[in-house]
Structure 1
Amino acid sequence: MYQNVLFPTDGSDGADAALAHAVDIARQYDATLHVLFVAKDDFGPSGMVEKEHDGVRRSEMVGGEELARERKEASKTGMTSRPHDEHGAVSEHGRHVVEDAAAGIDDVAVETAVVPGTPYRAILDYADEHGVDLIVMGTHGRTGLDRYLLGSVTEKVIRTADQPVLTVRMRDQ
């Protein structure tokens, strides 16, 4: 029934909750499991990344602790003195995320990919290009109102995918 199962991940706990389901389905149907990370491509000229939270777009630096000083500088001026290789940093992070997800999977064929783009659109494009039969995604909500809401990427994929989409809610800890 399924030959290609897609597991898009951002490395979050919500996404990780869906991994076991994706592996089990791929194992049961002797399917190939595709582990995908989308490196969001909306970097502005300042090296900032636009993120949306509660319907409000905010700029935020991508990277680790070494960017703390530059984050402060960027909040004052909107610019950084850092060379603009932030997309490379996100892609490198994505490579680690997909490698970590694939590392513990035995007896299932696994393909990993890191692609640039708008997350929901890149997931749909990848699914179409690779003959994906099922998309398995995590939700991010755990408590309160979030328990009843899907992540915006998951919701867009559900509404627009040609393939069936299995969503897995993270268990309360």
Structure 2
Amino acid sequence: MYDRILVPTDGSAETARVVEHAAELAEAHGAELHAIYVVNSATFASLPMETSWEGINDMLQEEGESALEDVRRVADRYDVSLTTHLVEGPPNREIVRYAEQGGFDLIVMGTHGRGGIDRLLLGSVAERVVRASTVPVLTVRVGTDENSPKTEASEGAKGSS
């Protein structure tokens, strides 16, 4: 059913749970597993002009590489091939673009499951991906009891452009 699975990472400790779920799916289906980290350089646009952009970019790249290495450590426990990707841009747009252009069958990503005012104020990369993606998205709730994983499936916005 799945040949290519994409798992975005933000470098948080909770991502391990999401990667485990994605790796289990990839192993069960004999699928390729790809991890993506999106450097969101727009968040640093408000820094003073005298700030060294090169230094910030280097720091963000290092964070991304570290996050992808964390994914590799988790995926190594499974019989799957893992390819990692480091890209720049708005995370939700880059995840959707990468998944659609790369011919992925599934995106597996974490969500904190916030609702109400928290979601309104903080936004949700996962929610934006679910709404914009034509690739099905499986969300794995993080930040809850580790012994009771909760997942939700979405078919994405089929046929929207």
TM-score range, shorter chain: 0.7 to 0.9
CA radius of gyration, larger in: 1
User: Mind listing any 5+ residue stretches in structure 1 that lack a counterpart?
Assistant: 44-48, 51-58, 60-77
Give the number of aligned pairs: 141
After TM superposition, give the deviation of residue 26 of structure 1 in Å. 0.4
Q: What is the percentage of aligned positions where both structures have the same residue? A: 43
Q: Equivalent residue for 2:19?
A: 19
5+ unaligned residues in a row in structure 2: which ranges?
147-161
Moved over 4 A (4+): 141-147
Q: 1:31 to 1:91 in 2, by over 3 A?
A: same
Residue 124, structure 1, aligned to residue 93, structure 2:
no
- Amino acid of the residue matched to residue 41 of structure 2? D
Q: Distance in 2 between matches of 1:150 and 1:136?
A: 21
Matched, 1:91 2:61: yes
Comparing both chains, which one has the higher relative contact order based on Cα–Cα distances under 8 Å and sequence gaps of 6 or more?
A: 1
Q: CA deviation at 1:151?
A: 5.4
Alpha carbon RMSD of aligned pairs, Å? Answer: 2.6
TM superposition score normalised by structure 1: 0.71
1:101-152: CA deviations, max 9, x gaps? 11232310100010011100100111022211000010124799759x9951
* Cα distance in 1 between the residues matched to 2:14 and 2:75: 18
User: Structure 2 vs 1, CA of residues 157 and 142 (structure 1 numbering), >3 Å: closer, same or farther?
Assistant: closer
